[in-house]
Structure 1
Amino acid sequence: MLNWNLLDKIIKSSKKVFLTTHVNPDADGLGSELAMYYYLKSLNIDCKILNSSETPDYLTFLDPDNVIEVWDKNNHSEWIKDVDTAIAFDIGDYRRMNELSTQIKENNIYSVIIDHHPYSSDFFDLVLVDINFASTGNMVWSFLEHSNYKSYNQISLDALYSALITDTGSFRYNSTDSESHKMAGFLLDNGVKPYDVYEKIYERRSLKQINLLSESIKNLKFNFSNLVCGVIISKEIQNKAGANHEHVEGFTDFFRSIDGVQISYCIIEQDHSYRINFRSRGKYIINDIAKSFGGGGHKLAAGASVNNLSAIDIENKILKKIKGKINVN
């Protein structure tokens, strides 16, 4: 049972709070922190959203007030010194906060994690984790309802709906449950227009992204009797498409949708590291593979960041791990 009473007590005893989510933020992390931000502001709490990396272009619509900031030591080190509480959303692993995890410890900030990913570290002071929730946004909504919050603005409502539809695959994934639909009903009753949000997230693909998808398909590899497919999306491929690593959103899900494919992966070259995304159709669990690279996630959707291996070495390790699961030549 999640201790929302304790969280409520901690928040209301705090004068200064910062909120954050994982590096390369998605709609669930962003939506969760935005909804909590406006709740805290309604309590007149000094609050900032500080993330480790920029909001992806396709999700900037979630923040019309431009309240989300990217951590900058020169700009924020003084402000953060007397923060009472830090709340991290949807991070899976504290290391996915990058330097902000160090700031929490150095400044002796009371820390809270709200997450629906499996979590086992003792980094946080208060752990509010429940893998039975379809999204972290669903957890935030549960807390706000528990707190009898009534002052939702349109930004909060759209943010929570974005969190919900992205992590349930628009209510297609097995994580979707009656609570997901209950939350959706509440949001729609209070002003969310489903297609407006859906269109902004899913129907504004740039030509750069389409070009990158085309180049990625050309380089797609199939293994183990076509049960597995994956691709290394190198800087060379990105440059050829006139795109960058932010344009790969949804690729791994798309490759998983190929008939017969059980597991898909993308290895995406970034400036100083590789990001790995994994998806499984359901027969094989893949978050243990992500964990072997220092990442994590759900059983069927996981990821990791790697900076000490080449792309080829990463791929070879992935295929070796998968071979042990599916037991084919």
Structure 2
Amino acid sequence: MTQAQSIHPAPPAPLHVLGALALELRGDAPVGRQALAQTEVGALAELIAQDLAGFAPDAASLDLVTVGAHYDPVELLRPGWPLHRELDQLAARAPRAGAEGGRIVAFGSHEEQLPGALSPSPDHLGGPFRLVPFVLGGDAAVAARVGEAFERELLERGMAGAATALAAQQAFGLQVEHARYLTVHDLAAMMAMQYDHAGLASLWPLLETALLEPDGEHWLDQPPEPLVHYAAGEARIAMFEPRAWKQRYATDEPCDTPECRSRLEQQHRHFQARQRQIAAVLGAHGIPVNFVHCPEEGRAALA
């Protein structure tokens, strides 16, 4: 699914611009360092600020907030954008100088600990695509213009400067093949295509609802897929009793031979594995999952 195929209209221009420096790593590269010390992160942040001002000069008048750490895409793509929100909230406590123009606030580790809730999850280490998040904020009108420019430009021509890519590679100890900038909506579009290739295209509209409209509602009701209802900020997955599962997912023909029963058992095990896979994906995106016992028709129990 591409951005043009989104089930949601484009969101209004934000008061903050949310994005990331995306680092595409060599497949056999080592994990490297997860976080930079506070004394190291400033140089990388300065280069990021220069790059972003090159795409939209008004970005130089906004505050840039970033962190000397890199994350898996699922850590950024969560309802309410919690990692970006944490950056913004921590920056609000930082002192502001009287100079004109945007300030640069870059968080690093102290005694190997990042502030707040900025520590990358150990559950998502080692992937080939890592993200250094940033927030641009300040004057609402300027942020809106910069956000609109980034949504138009970054996906097509958002390559990071050579100095920035080299600095990130050396600082984190990674083997960076490509470095580019993305908005969170660009990142969501890329993730949608990845899930399509992974056989999870049917789940993406539900994930997209959770990301772009956390208070919204969406059903995954496409047999042979599990029945899932996203509402009130959680995903409810139907756990059918055997007869209800057979009525919904298996044939209505009599099944009175050992071969038929074995085939049904295998089909049911595959269905349960798919439920666990979907629950794991939703959980990785920070969406609470609730398995709901359904003795009969599932939609009524999940509503």
Larger radius of gyration: 2
TM range (shorter): under 0.3
TM-score, normalization by structure 2: 0.27
TM-score, normalization by structure 1: 0.26
